[in-house]
Amino acid sequence: MNLKILIIEHEEQVRKALKNVIEHEGYKALTASSGREGLKIMKGKKPVLVLLELKVPDMDGFVLLKEIKKINPGVPVIVITSQNTVESAVKVMKLGAFNYITKPFDLDKLKDEINQALKSSELFVEDSFPGSELGKKYDTIIGKSPAIKEVILLIERVAETNATVLITGESGTGKEVTALAIHQNSNRKDCPFVPVNCAALPEQLLESELFGHEKGAFTGAVALKRGRFEIADNGTIFLDEIAEMSPVMQAKLLRVLQEKAFERVGGTETLKVNVRIIAATNRDIREMVNKGQFREDLYYRLNVIHIHLPPLRERREDIPLLAKNFLKKHMMGSHHVKKIDSKALDMLVKYHWPGNIRELQNVIERAVIICRGDTILPEHLPKELHEQGGDKKTYPVETIIRFPDSGISLEQVEKELILKALEKSGGNQTKAAQLLGITRSALIYRSQKYNIKL
């Protein structure tokens, strides 16, 4: 299956950059520099995903998005825009966009959005997941540490049941890969696996995404849309970032768990589904329940089986296995890079990996790209890995943050440190990340988590 992704972008340089990203991910890129050219390709080539820049020269971007959805209501559209406003974001989402990203965009985030859009696409999940191109993009769970062996054993046992599963762990520890492993080893493996990021959409749009909507349910609802629960019937739905769900949506999800039924937005017909639910979060959801921030009854419904994924720094013996696996993945056929130098591997093992497995994969991919010999050497690794063993001046935390008599939470400490690093760096994200000893992507993620504007 040769999946085609359409890029509608008037800037040649950006269009080429997007084309390179898509082709590097193994898809076929179709490009258009105008709206009318893009619509012509939509009708003739039938892409499974569209990357759309709103400011095309010959058409209003919102009108173009409407026309794309008329041609194919099921195709996911990721909008790329420089209009970083809530109004424009809500408008494109109501018109049927899968998501939007603002310029300048982070390439890693773009790749994640592309894969998320494809996985949740009606054009794609109707096919059997195993053996598809998407399935090949996922790695199996790799490791020999006691902690990961325990996780694998639990996955094997829970996969045979229909029990609801709650997966916890830091960002980048492999929660979605774990959910997929449960699905692929269950009796639902030949039915859809449908992931949903609950933090990516505001409440009203998340409801439509999960349960679908009827034609005319709201402005922009030009056709009936099947929700993710409906698409996942007889399969598995993966609700990532479940702790970010609003109280109203928590109540609606609880009903689905109890009754296996729901109505589309704007509809009156009750739809019954047979879906296994796997949820995940990187937050302390038990603490949120104690603080009244998450429904206790929903928590117990989700937490039938609990799988906690350890951070990479707590399973260092797995780092060489993971690094070699990612090297094999990114060698791209006949690529000349064949191994990792022992000193470079030692640096990988000693690093604290705030971004966990995802960060390790990015480091290996970068090293493969810049390496010109057959061996990845220390000089091919990012600067933060070289700095980890150096003499860094340290300061007592009391000199950075004042502790009130009533105490302070770890989340408040982390947020305060991020704010101070951004202030110290004059808002430069790369410098702020270096001050904190984390990657830029980790800084962006944590800033979004604490609603810090970058």
- Give the predicted TM-score (pTM) of the model: 0.63
Cβ–Cβ < 8 Å for 151, 107: no
* Domain 397-449 in the same topology as domain 138-310: no
Residue 417 has pLDDT above 70, yes or no: yes
pLDDT at 186: 92
Average confidence (pLDDT) over 120-124: 53
> What residues does 277 pair with on adjacent strands?
237
Would you state the pLDDT for residue 29?
92
Please state the domain extents for the chain.
4-106, 138-310, 313-387, 397-449
The hierarchical CATH code for the domain 4-106 is 3.40.50.2300
| pLDDT higher than 70, residue 170 | yes
The third-level CATH classification (topology) of the domain covering 313-387 is Helicase, Ruva Protein; domain 3 (1.10.8)
Q: What is the pLDDT of residues 328-363, one digit of tens each?
A: 887 755 467 889 999 999 999 999 999 999 999 999
Residue range 81-91: average pLDDT? Answer: 71
Strand blocks (E) in 9-136: 28-32, 49-53, 77-81, 99-102
What's the rounded Cα separation, in Å, for the pair 309 and 182? Answer: 14
Q: How far apart are CA 102 and CA 235, in angstroms?
A: 33
Give the per-residue pLDDT at 40: 93
Question: pLDDT tens for residues 151-168?
Answer: 988 998 999 899 999 999
Phi, psi of 25 (to 5 degrees): -80, 0
| Inter-residue contact 8 to 38 (CB < 8 Å) | yes
**Per-residue b/e over 286-323, b at no fewer than 16 CB within 10 Å?**
eebbeeeebbeebbebbbebebebbbbeebeebbeebb
* Nearest CA-CA partner of 59 in 32, 86, 82: 32
The CA-based angle 58-62-63, given to 5 degrees, is 60
Q: What is the CATH number of domain 138-310?
A: 3.40.50.300
Longest dimension (CA), the chain: 67
Token output for 134: 């998407």
pLDDT in tens, 360-382: 999 998 998 888 888 999 999 99
- pLDDT > 90 fraction of the chain, expressed in percent and rounded: 41
Q: Which CATH class is domain 397-449?
A: mainly alpha
Name which of 411, 398, 103 is nearest 419 in CA terms: 411
Once rounded to an integer, what is the mean pLDDT over residues 302-314?
Answer: 94
Cα dihedral 38/43/48/49 (nearest 10): 20
